[in-house]
Structure 1
């Protein structure tokens, strides 16, 4: 059984895109970062656990897209959607323990993320994968057996992000470099260049917010941990627990899931940040 699980993990890792861990110079310090990798995700992180757990308020600065990431050729709207998804996921995760305040207000922690590398999704390959997936679902419904058709292992996107949390005196209390590529099983094929980066942006936001909420390694968190009622509600598109998280718009919820199943671009189901 253990061998089977290990083999499945190895096959999954082999069938995913590679995105590099970066050291772009965006963070105030890279000292003391420790490596912690999962099956699909690579990270290096550091956290000063005691002062982070003592913190009660947080603000989120805008996500910065590096010149290297911009060389992937996405549109301004596509970069904005990826950036917004990072901060939406961070805000939702951080609100489990923190009060989220305006960037103009004093806060125990200030959090900022930097997209340092982005590999676009190949739209043609994703379109073929979506058609095959829909066909598999129809066939499964006919024979009464669920069928999940893997994506084509070509043209998969990837995302690399660096982030830190600093005090009002600019003392860095937590930092992370993070990288992950889309894979053929868990990342839905969607016909848009930003699709995989969009999906991975939410994964990053969940990982870094977990580090700040618990002070623990997100790669080693329990796989079967139950989500809170608030997080389930936000996923389904309800109002966020913290009012300021509404700045990043509502999670597309069920419409986003259905859009992913049929391969719609993320922008078809995600309205992005709230326009003021």
Structure 2
């Protein structure tokens, strides 16, 4: 490692050329240490599957876990697939979650709005999303039951370490895992109620940030904000397909989803209440670890 850095320094000052043979040797030497660090850093925050009483019924809920998410769910497939329209009641924090949360109201608002915006986008694949004042075949509502804040300092240290390695080894991409300290987590419960007043689908969902897969944001709400979108994707897939969203290949984004990913408006006017997706600015901000509030303007109109 020292020989490679020395040759780069000499080349930069014009006193010689980069010794690529020394760099390759140093790279081979550092990779075992990187792999060991990766294995030591593998971590995933736990998220409980709490029941807070917001669901009409908890009967017949069965485990259906993904690679990282855990869930209990049930779905009346025929009833869900027969539905054509849906309306979304804005997501809220349950009383236990709000009572124990150290996040500010603004931070909690970004999390719940991320749930609603992702749900609206995902449900638009098959349903027509209508306003709360209009009749609908299904009424969807989610509730945050648990949130663990992110250790913003640990994320910042991880970002600095990743940048330092990139500068030291510009010719190779060395994955630097995030410090497995203060990983955030999020749990929710949600259901879809039919026009007949009966529960058509329900899910209790929990997931924690992963040290290898979630780079993190320098914000206490960072992990919960990112996980909120993951929940929105999972629950909307449950309603769109009538089956578990786990264990399946990812589907290609629709034209409307691509437009939203680029920062464009949503497919249906009812989704405008949850604001525009941060788009490319949000993607870049995520990679840089910026706080969600720096790139996400949040909801434009709240109906609650």
TM-score (norm 1): 0.91
Q: How big is each residue's C-alpha offset from its partner over 1:14-46, in whole Å with a ceiling of 9 and x where there is no partner?
A: 611001111221101011111011221001110
List alignment gaps of at least 5 residues for structure 2: 1-38
Counterpart of 1:216 in structure 2 is 243
Contact kept? 1:36, 1:219, Cα under 8 Å: yes
Counterpart of 1:82 in structure 2 is 111
Aligned-partner SS, 2:230: helix
Matches of 2:239 and 2:168 in 1, distance apart? 44
Residues 205 and 13 (structure 1), Cα distance of their counterparts in 2 relative to 1, 3 Å cut: farther
TM-score (norm 2): 0.82
Matches of 2:167 and 2:284 in 1, distance apart? 14
Counterpart of 2:289 in structure 1 is 263
1:61 aligns with one of 73, 84, 89: 89
1:102 aligns with one of 118, 131, 139: 131
Residues 230 and 131 (structure 1), Cα distance of their counterparts in 2 relative to 1, 3 Å cut: same
> Is 1:156 the equivalent of 2:180?
no
User: 1:125-274 alignment to 2 at 5 Å?
Assistant: 125-139=154-168, 142-143=170-171, 145-223=172-250, 225-274=251-300
1:111 aligns with one of 109, 115, 140: 140
Contact kept? 1:13, 1:39, Cα under 8 Å: no
Aligned-partner SS, 2:236: helix
Contact kept? 2:41, 2:179, Cα under 8 Å: no
Residues 176 and 14 (structure 1), Cα distance of their counterparts in 2 relative to 1, 3 Å cut: farther
- What's the offset of the Cα at 1:12? 10
Matches of 2:163 and 2:263 in 1, distance apart? 25
Counterpart of 1:33 in structure 2 is 61
Q: Which has the larger radius of gyration?
A: 2
Counterpart of 2:47 in structure 1 is 19
Tell me how large the CA RMSD over aligned residues is: 1.8
Matches of 1:200 and 1:268 in 2, distance apart? 18
List alignment gaps of at least 5 residues for structure 1: 1-10
Matches of 1:199 and 1:13 in 2, distance apart? 20
Matches of 1:105 and 1:88 in 2, distance apart? 19
Residues 206 and 53 (structure 1), Cα distance of their counterparts in 2 relative to 1, 3 Å cut: same
- What's the offset of the Cα at 1:226? 2.0
